[in-house]
């Protein structure tokens, strides 16, 4: 019979991770309510202006705590039942309300994809699905908690606007500018974003703001990919005199095909950067648009491979999969010099 001891063997110690999971939730940038939880902050502001706005969450009430405090009667807790939350919201919207559903990304667009398509998208209802903790944000919780296929799914929906803000200010601005849309909206929230904008841009429907102008390479990112593009562009200019056109692809559906094709034709090199699978996301839509237009362009993708992913704290995973400014710069360099 083996004997089990609660004590560790002598001389044994726990290998402490250098970067802890908790870092994801306590980024130094997040000093205000807005930067800590921009999607929760924005809906509270919008809710004060439009009483048709209601929020729903499936065991995610903490993310709309401020809204609940101000408008308790307009919050609908759904328990751990995401599919019900989406169809329920469709019913609310059909009766004239504007529901914002807050869910963890893997259990939002992924688990409820069919409810979203059939009840919300096909019926053109103004429901908003806000997916927090997208991509690899839930790190070592395991691959069940990853959401790296959600954009691929969302952008095949016929009537859904797909948004992926690149930082907190852009999130608030995007939510504000889409609040009155009479169509479904999916808002994918990345947690590991860095500050890109000092002031939030005014987003025009379906347009990609340009962060920087150059003629050597086109860098396009959404979510955390936007900050990576901005940082890489800076480094490319400083160290290699490579000048990059940089676009904020916050709108993934519809997307800015005009800006994309004009820039691609100009630079001849296009690199997309995203915390999403290589299959079906920004990289795919850019490749499709360029192929359709018949442009002869070198394409590169910094994204997650479409195979079983590793598990670990997000910061380590980003390093492992090359979602870093230095890797984006290296990819851009090799694309240009190939």
List contacts with other proteins (CB under 8 A).
54, 73-74, 76, 78-79, 81, 83-84, 86-97, 114-115, 118-119, 122-124
Q: What ranges in the chain are assigned the alpha helix state H?
A: 22-25, 33-36, 38-49, 65-70, 82-94, 113-115, 150-154, 168-177, 224-240, 257-267, 282-293, 314-320, 325-337
The smaller minimum CB distance to other proteins, of residues 111 and 188, is found at 111
Burial grade of 72 (CB within 10 A; 0-12, 13-18, 19 or more): exposed
Q: At what angle do helices 282-293 and 257-267 cross, to 10 degrees?
A: 70
Phi/psi of residue 132, nearest 5 degrees: -85, 165
**Nearest CA to 189 among 119, 235, 260, 131?**
131
Beta partners for residue 147, in sequence order:
135
Nearer to other proteins, 89 or 179 (CB): 89
**Shortest CB 28 distance to other proteins, Å:** 39
User: Which has the closest alpha carbon to 183: 101, 110, 132, 128?
Assistant: 128
Residue 88 vs 270, nearer CB to other proteins: 88
Nearer to other proteins, 114 or 306 (CB): 114
Q: How far is the CB of 184 from other proteins (least distance, A)?
A: 13
- Rank residues 89 and 249 by Cβ distance to other proteins and give the closer one: 89
- Which of residues 108 and 325 has its CB atom nearest to other proteins in the complex? 108
Q: Which is nearer to other proteins, 93 or 249 (CB)?
A: 93
Nearer to other proteins, 10 or 96 (CB): 96
Q: Report which DSSP code applies to 11.
A: T
- The minimum distance between CB 51 and other proteins, in angstroms, equals 10
Backbone angles phi, psi at 298, to 5 degrees: -85, 130
User: Among 318, 311, 315, which residue's Cα sits nearest to residue 276?
Assistant: 318
- Least distance (Å) between residue 253 CB and other proteins: 20
Q: How far is the CB of 95 from other proteins (least distance, A)?
A: 3
Sequence-separated (6 or more) residues with CB below 8 Å from residue 273: 219, 220, 221, 225, 226, 228, 229, 232, 282, 302, 303, 323, 328
Residue 249 beta carbon to other proteins: minimum distance, rounded to whole angstroms:
30
Q: How far is the CB of 142 from other proteins (least distance, A)?
A: 23
Min separation Cβ 97 and other proteins, Å:
6
Nearer to other proteins, 121 or 248 (CB): 121
Q: How many CB atoms lie within 10 A of CB 25?
A: 12
CB of 68 to other proteins, least distance (A): 15
What is the spatial order of strands in the sheet that 210-212 belongs to? Answer: 210-212, 244-248, 217-221, 269-277, 298-304
């Amino acid at each position: 019979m083996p004997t089990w001891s609660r004590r560790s063997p002598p001389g044994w110690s726990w290998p402490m991770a250098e970067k802890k999971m908790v870092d994801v939730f306590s980024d130094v940038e997040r000093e205000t309510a807005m930067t800590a939880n921009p999607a929760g902050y924005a809906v509270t502001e919008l809710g004060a202006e439009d009483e048709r706005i209601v929020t729903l969450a499936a065991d995610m009430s903490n993310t709309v705590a401020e809204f609940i405090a101000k408008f308790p009667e307009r919050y609908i807790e759904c328990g751990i039942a995401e599919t019900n939350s989406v169809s329920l919201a469709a019913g609310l919207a059909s009766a004239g309300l504007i529901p914002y559903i807050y869910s963890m990304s893997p259990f939002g667009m992924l688990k409820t994809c069919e409810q979203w398509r059939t009840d919300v998208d096909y019926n053109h209802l103004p429901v908003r699905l806000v997916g927090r903790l997208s991509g690899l944000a839930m790190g070592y919780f395991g691959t069940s908690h990853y959401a790296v296929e959600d954009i691929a799914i969302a952008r095949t929906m016929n009537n859904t606007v797909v948004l992926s803000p690149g930082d907190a200010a852009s999130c608030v601005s995007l939510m504000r500018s889409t609040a009155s849309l009479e169509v479904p909206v999916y808002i994918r929230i990345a947690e590991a974003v860095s500050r890109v904008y000092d002031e939030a841009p005014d987003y025009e429907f379906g347009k990609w703001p340009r962060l920087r102008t150059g003629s050597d390479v086109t860098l396009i990112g959404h979510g955390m990919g936007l900050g990576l593009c901005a940082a890489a562009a800076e480094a490319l200019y400083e160290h290699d005199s490579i000048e990059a056109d940089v676009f904020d692809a916050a709108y993934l559906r519809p997307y800015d095909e005009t800006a994309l094709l004009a820039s691609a034709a100009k630079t001849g090199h296009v690199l997309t950067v995203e915390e999403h699978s290589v299959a079906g996301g920004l990289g795919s839509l850019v490749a499709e648009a360029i192929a359709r237009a018949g442009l002869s362009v070198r394409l590169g993708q910094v994204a997650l491979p479409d195979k079983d992913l590793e598990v670990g704290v997000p910061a380590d995973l980003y390093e492992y999969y090359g979602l870093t400014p230095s890797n984006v710069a290296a990819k851009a360099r090799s694309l240009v010099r190939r």
